[in-house]
Every structure is written in structure tokens, then in C-alpha cells.
Amino acid sequence: MTQHVTVLYGDLDRILITGQEIKDAVERLGAQITRDYQGKSPVMICILKGAVVFFSDLIRSIDLPVSLDFMAISSYGSSTKTSGVVRILKDLDHDVAGRDVIVVEDIVDSGLTLSYITSLLDQRAARSVKIATLLDKPERRRTPLVVDYCCFTIPNEFVVGYGLDYNEKYRNLPDVGVLSPRMYSE
Ligand code: 5GP
């Protein structure tokens, strides 16, 4: 456990992935993307806000001339369940037509959010669209979705930390942990 944000750890059932494990996995993923995109300059798209911590570490482990863009979306539904209906709160600043795009997400759950985003980028004529996610919960998939890059496959539990929140809290935890169910049943 990382010691400097101890106040939030009391709300967790357990730590699932330590900051050090995340660091190692993100470095491996950055090296793989660097190999796969040799000679290319992909646009890395951060899905705000959950992916922001993963994104900032991942881009620094990629040795390519990447450019960055940001998209904020909200999915209707409660904070622990996705409805699949997606609203764009902040769109990209740049045109992706003809570009190789890597969408960076914190977690793929039902897959509905990323299905929506990837089809939007296809409609905008991106040359290629790939998905990089920190976490994947394949048990919960409700739509076929190819996840191209994934750091960790996790069980069907609600997790927080390293960018992932519950009611905007816990994003600054350096590890990923399972939130104690008492925190959202209260
Ligand atoms: P999907 O459309 O794949 O069901 O939903 C993905 C989004 O749901 C994620 O970007 C995230 O905001 C939210 N989400 C799904 N599972 C979890 C989880 O275990 N923890 C947190 N904090 N958010 C989750």
C-alpha cells in the first residue's frame, strides 16, 4: 500500500492492484504501443475524467511523436451502472480524419461507452481506431467490442483509485481497490 493517502484506504474492502504493479504494466503497454506504431504519429484520446491518471503515465512511456486530445462524456444512469446512452460534454479539439487514433479509457465494463465512441471516430473517418484500457471487466460485456490493449482483467467488482471514482472521490488513490459496498449502500 502506498502510505501517503491513508485517509481513503479505510473505505476499501481491499487493494486489487498496487501502484507498483500498475507502473510496470503501463510501461510494458507503452513499449508495446511504441513497437506497434513505428513510423506513425497516433492521436491519443483521453476519455475524461477517469482515464486521466492512466493517460498521463501511458503517454510518457510511449516513444513516438504522439498528439493528445480529450473527450468528456457522460453516460446516463447511476454512478455504479452504465445505461449505454452517451452524451458528449466536451468534444475533441482536432479533426481525426485520416489519423491513427488510440482511445484511452480507465475501464471497459458493458462496452457500450467505447462502442459509441469508436463508431463516432469511424464516422469521422479516422484511419484506424484502437482501444487502450487500464482495466477490463469482460464478464459484464453487453456488446461485442475488441479491446486492443489492456493492462489488467478484473472480476466483476466496483473499483476505485488511479483515476476511477465513486461520486468524484478516490481518483487520487495511487492503487486500484475494491470499494467497500457499505460506501454505496449508505
Ligand atoms: P461501459 O460503457 O463499458 O459500461 O462503462 C465504462 C464506464 O463505466 C467507465 O469509464 C467508468 O466510468 C464506469 N465504470 C464501470 N465499472 C466501473 C468500476 O468498477 N469503477 C468505477 N469507478 N467506474 C466504473
- Which pLDDT score is estimated for 7? 84
Q: Is residue 75 over pLDDT 90?
A: no
User: What residue segments make up the domains of the chain, in order of their start?
Assistant: 20-154
Question: Ligand 1 centroid vs 38 CA: distance in angstroms?
Answer: 31
Question: Rounded to whole angstroms, how far apart are CA atoms 123 and 114?
Answer: 14
pLDDT in tens, 140-164: 899 999 999 999 999 999 999 999 9
Does any ligand 1 atom lie closer than 6 A to the CB of residue 165? Answer: yes
In the chain the beta strands, taken as DSSP E runs, fall at 12-17, 43-48, 67-75, 86-90, 100-108, 128-136, 149-153, 159-160, 176-179
Q: What percent of the chain has pLDDT over 70?
A: 91
Question: What atom of ligand 1 comes closest to residue 160's alpha carbon?
Answer: 22
**Residue 186: pLDDT above 90?**
no
Distance CA 109, CA 99 (A): 26
Taking 70 as the threshold, does the pLDDT of residue 79 lie above it? no
Q: Is 118 in the pocket of ligand 1 (CB under 6 A)?
A: no
Alpha-carbon separation of residue 48 from 31, 70, 114, 143 (angstroms): 23, 7, 13, 22
Q: 3-state DSSP helix/strand/coil percent for the chain, to nearest 5?
A: 30, 30, 40
Report the C-alpha gap between 133 and 136 in whole angstroms.
7
Which residues have C-beta within 8 Å of that of residue 155, sequence separation ≥ 6? 137, 139
Backbone angles phi, psi at 34, to 5 degrees: -60, -45
Q: Which CATH number fits domain 20-154: 3.40.50.2020, 3.50.50.60, 3.30.360.10, 1.20.1250.20?
A: 3.40.50.2020
**109, 122, 148, 165: the active-site residue:** 109
Coil/strand/helix, residue 108: strand
Q: Are 12 and 179 in contact (CB under 8 A)?
A: yes
Question: In this model, does residue 169 exceed pLDDT 90?
Answer: yes
Q: Is the CB of 29 under 6 A from ligand 1?
A: no
Whole-number pLDDT of residue 84 = 64
Closest CA to 107 of 34, 158, 143: 158
